[in-house]
Amino acid sequence: MKDIHIHTGNFNGGLYFSPEEISLSMKALNVERYYFSSTSTGNLPFREVRREIESLVEMSHGRAIPFLWVSPGMLRHSRDLRPYFFRDFAGIKIHGLQGWNPHGKEIRRAVSIAGDNNLPVMLHTGEHEICRAGAYLRLCREFGDVRIILAHGRPLDECITVMKECPNVYADTAFMPVNNILILRNEGLIERVLWGTDFPVMRYFYDIPPEDYYRQKISEAINILGESDFTRITQENFNA
């Protein structure tokens, strides 16, 4: 199986998701390929971020594929982000609460850089008005050639609206109740749902060991969706 939404790095309140932890856990969980970004971006000098990325890629023996997490500060430092592309990336990640205006020039420049490099963009979505799924409708429409992943798909009704209007838009399942995946399926959108977990960010929210959380999520998803749609969102949809 694959996972589109994994993190290494420093996280709120002093947690650290080391490359070792991620690499070992993903192996234990049999995740054959995972796409990750560094939550240290913006908190640590970029050379530290770079070291984390390089060591996770190396340790994972090709299972870990990096997304470049981009902050507005990085764009101010470099209009084309070139200094940050020290290696190939599989996509870029934008967290709306880091000072992005969902309609602003900066986010549009970032998405256009992704488009120029044929990379998808993952946008964090949440209940806050500047990063609700609906706040990105215009952006997703304007960049219809860029694959855009609405991480978490929140709120779900807005995520559905954006996905229906924009065939270039996907949703990931990080922290998404399995019932919401069912709703996406009923809306005819299952082919654009990607398995993502935000592993190991659940360490911040729950006491349960993150690998146990992950296994529970898998069995819940298989029970509720069935094997074939589980395979679809954890495997087939990644090939699109």
Site size with Zn ion, rule: CB under 5 A: 1
CA distances from 202 to 16, 199, 236 (A): 12, 6, 26
Q: State which of positions 37-76 bind Zn ion (CB under 5 A).
A: none
Taking the complex as a whole, the smallest distance from the CB of residue 124 to Zn ion amounts, in Å, to: 6
Candidates 45-53, 75-83, 196-204, 222-230 — which segment interacts with Zn ion by CB under 5 A?
A: 196-204
Please identify, using beta-carbon distances, which residue of 38 and 229 lies nearer to Zn ion. 38
Taking the complex as a whole, the smallest distance from the CB of residue 21 to Zn ion amounts, in Å, to: 16
Candidates 43-51, 82-90, 193-201, 227-235 — which segment interacts with Zn ion by CB under 5 A?
A: 193-201
Please identify, using beta-carbon distances, which residue of 23 and 41 lies nearer to Zn ion. 41
Number of C-beta neighbours around residue 109 at 10 A: 16
Taking the complex as a whole, the smallest distance from the CB of residue 220 to Zn ion amounts, in Å, to: 20
Candidates 12-20, 45-53, 195-203, 221-229 — which segment interacts with Zn ion by CB under 5 A?
A: 195-203
Query: Which strands sit side by side in the sheet containing 148-151, from one edge to the other?
Result: 15-17, 2-11, 33-38, 64-69, 91-94, 121-124, 148-151, 169-172, 193-194
Taking the complex as a whole, the smallest distance from the CB of residue 112 to Zn ion amounts, in Å, to: 23
Whether 124 and 154 have beta carbons less than 8 Å apart is answered as no
Please identify, using beta-carbon distances, which residue of 180 and 229 lies nearer to Zn ion. 180
198 touches Zn ion by CB under 5 A: yes
Q: Which residue is nearest to Zn ion (CB)?
A: 198
106 touches Zn ion by CB under 5 A: no
Long-range contacts formed by 137-144: CB under 8 A, 24+ apart: 137/161, 137/162, 137/165, 137/166, 138/102, 138/103, 139/102, 139/103, 139/107, 139/108, 139/111, 140/165, 140/166, 140/168, 140/169, 141/165, 141/166, 142/108, 143/108, 143/111, 143/112, 143/115, 143/168, 144/168
Please identify, using beta-carbon distances, which residue of 229 and 234 lies nearer to Zn ion. 234
Please identify, using beta-carbon distances, which residue of 202 and 229 lies nearer to Zn ion. 202
Residues that bind Zn ion (CB under 5 A): 198
